[in-house]
Amino acid sequence: MKLHEHQAKELLARHGVAVPAGGVARSADEAREIAMRTGGSVVVKAQVHAGGRGKAGGVRLAATPDEAAAAAAEMLGARLVTAQTGPEGVPVGAVLVEETVDIARELYLAMLVDGGVGRPVVMASEAGGMDIEAVAEETPERILVEAVDPALGLMPFQSRKLAGGLGLDGAAARGLARAVDSVHGAFAQNDCSLVEINPLVLTTGGGIVAADAKVTIDDDALFRQPDLAGLYDPSQDAPIEARAHGLGLSYVKLDGDVGCLVNGAGLAMATMDVAVAAGAAPANFLDVGGGADEEKVAGAVVLLLSDPAVRRVLINIFGGILRCDVVARGVVEAAGRAEGPIPPMVVRMLGTNAEEGRGILSRSGLEVTLVDDMGAAAAALGELG
Ligand code: GDP
Ligand code: MN
């Protein structure tokens, strides 16, 4: 789950990262007031769950409170399209109004879990700013990486090594090392999957300040981070994904026409592969999870069917804790609730109460093809295509 920049900065500040003074505005008047309180020139920044704002007009410098109000008025209520959003963009419901920082150098600092290394890593670069993706692509040696031993934590020499590698010395080097420590603390204690500060500014006065911040919380840890879970902003997700979030489902919208309903993320991935092998593209990734009940299954199917792109459905259930008859009842319940015609379904059910589940579906009056294995599922899907 992504946080907004202002939320990310609050979190990082609690762990000791220096951030510019400012506040969040939801109207032009609020933006003017914050700019007046802050004094001097400010930067007005669209709060959206996407980067690339600087190049898309979502970060504007304002010399006076009136200019700040004007910039806020333009951004608020509009949709911002950046290189990281779709062409429809994302809505701007709030702007962050902050004192400007005097930039001597723009550095890059991030922490994330590196699946390849199997550890969290700290990444730092002297080439921070708006083109870090190009740096990673073309001159990866300019990005320094320190893997963190999860048992030992970040070692002081690692922070110092990064500071040295960025060409910093004296107070700036100590400031950088402190920022790395703070980011590590924030990352570890808040179940983050990503903390990214770009740019981390070396100010003309020699200070180290986070001018931007991106924080992502691991969805699977949200149950033990209730305060952070409460920061979820549905306006930043596609409507169907926001509804899935409310139902507690893992749902990702994809481009194809095969609605997929599966229990277990691994099986869901394999099922999508089967759809693709049959020459069909999945319309979604959907894992109902092992602990689902009939109501949750029904909600999942209604959601899946609400996608107008879905023309056929592939249900692949390995009944364990989630019994096949529960899934079948949920599907029938959803078919009763859904609007419009119900597309044909290919269903593979194995495991607990599979026979009962198959019976419920075959008697349901729905257009269901029951299959025994993934090969037959692919063939049946192909015939519907
Ligand atoms: P992003 O494009 O979405 O990553 O937004 P950023 O917050 O990183 O802002 C983009 C760029 O705006 C930064 O790389 C800076 O060059 C510039 N910028 C952001 N805040 C300030 C500021 O306080 N002062 C100045 N001079 N430039 C800023
Ligand atoms: Mn940035």
**Confidence band of 248 (pLDDT split at 50, 70, 90):** confident
**Confidence band of 116 (pLDDT split at 50, 70, 90):** very high
Residue range 80-97: mean pLDDT, rounded: 95
Phi, psi (degrees; rounded to nearest 5) at 383: -65, -30
* pLDDT score, position 188: 96
- Encode pLDDT of 249-298 as tens digits: 889 999 999 999 999 889 999 999 988 988 999 999 999 987 889 999 99
Residue 31 tokens, joined: 């933006």
Choice among 103-107, 131-135, 344-348 with the minimum mean pLDDT: 131-135
Q: Is 146 a catalytic residue?
A: no
State whether the beta carbon of 130 lies less than 6 angstroms from ligand 1. yes
Measured distance CA(328)–CA(311) in Å, rounded: 19
* pLDDT score, position 281: 94
* pLDDT score, position 213: 98
Give the CA angle between residues 150, 152, 154 to the nearest 5°: 80
Task: Check residue 3 and report its DSSP letter.
Answer: P
State whether the beta carbon of 357 lies less than 6 angstroms from ligand 1. no
Give just the sign of the alpha carbon dihedral 241, 246, 251, 257: negative
Residue range 49-68: mean pLDDT, rounded: 97
Alpha helices in 65-204 (DSSP H): 65-75, 132-138, 156-165, 170-189
* pLDDT score, position 29: 98
Q: Which residues pair with 318 in a beta bridge?
A: 350
One-letter identity of residue 196:
E
> Is pLDDT of 299 > 90?
yes
Kindly provide the b/e burial profile for residues 356-369, where b requires at least 16 CB atoms within 10 angstroms of the residue's own CB.
Answer: bbbebbeebebebb
Distance, CA 95 to ligand 1 centroid (Å)? 14
Phi, psi (degrees; rounded to nearest 5) at 197: -120, 110
- Whether the Cβ atoms of residue 202 and residue 127 lie closer than 8 Å to each other: no
State whether the beta carbon of 344 lies less than 6 angstroms from ligand 1. no
26-35, 81-90, 234-243: which is most confident? 26-35
- Whether the Cβ atoms of residue 305 and residue 337 lie closer than 8 Å to each other: no
Distance, CA 53 to ligand 2 centroid (Å)? 8
- Whether the Cβ atoms of residue 127 and residue 116 lie closer than 8 Å to each other: no
**Confidence band of 169 (pLDDT split at 50, 70, 90):** very high
3-state class of 85 per DSSP? coil
Q: What is the number of the ligand closest to the CA of 42?
A: 1
State whether the beta carbon of 59 lies less than 6 angstroms from ligand 1. yes
* pLDDT score, position 79: 97
* pLDDT score, position 17: 98
Residue range 213-217: mean pLDDT, rounded: 98
Kindly provide the b/e burial profile for residues 21-38, where b requires at least 16 CB atoms within 10 angstroms of the residue's own CB.
Answer: ebbbbeebebbbbbbeeb
Nearest to 366 by CA among 325, 326, 334, 323: 334
Residue range 188-204: mean pLDDT, rounded: 98
The total of other beta-carbon atoms located within 10 Å of residue 278's CB is: 22
- Encode pLDDT of 315-369 as tens digits: 999 999 999 999 999 999 999 998 889 999 999 999 999 999 999 999 999 999 9
Residue 282 tokens, joined: 């999945």
In Å, what is the CA distance from 304 to each residue of 249, 286, 339, 351? 11, 8, 12, 23
Residue range 217-246: mean pLDDT, rounded: 94
- Whether the Cβ atoms of residue 11 and residue 190 lie closer than 8 Å to each other: yes
* pLDDT score, position 16: 98
Q: Is 108 a catalytic residue?
A: yes
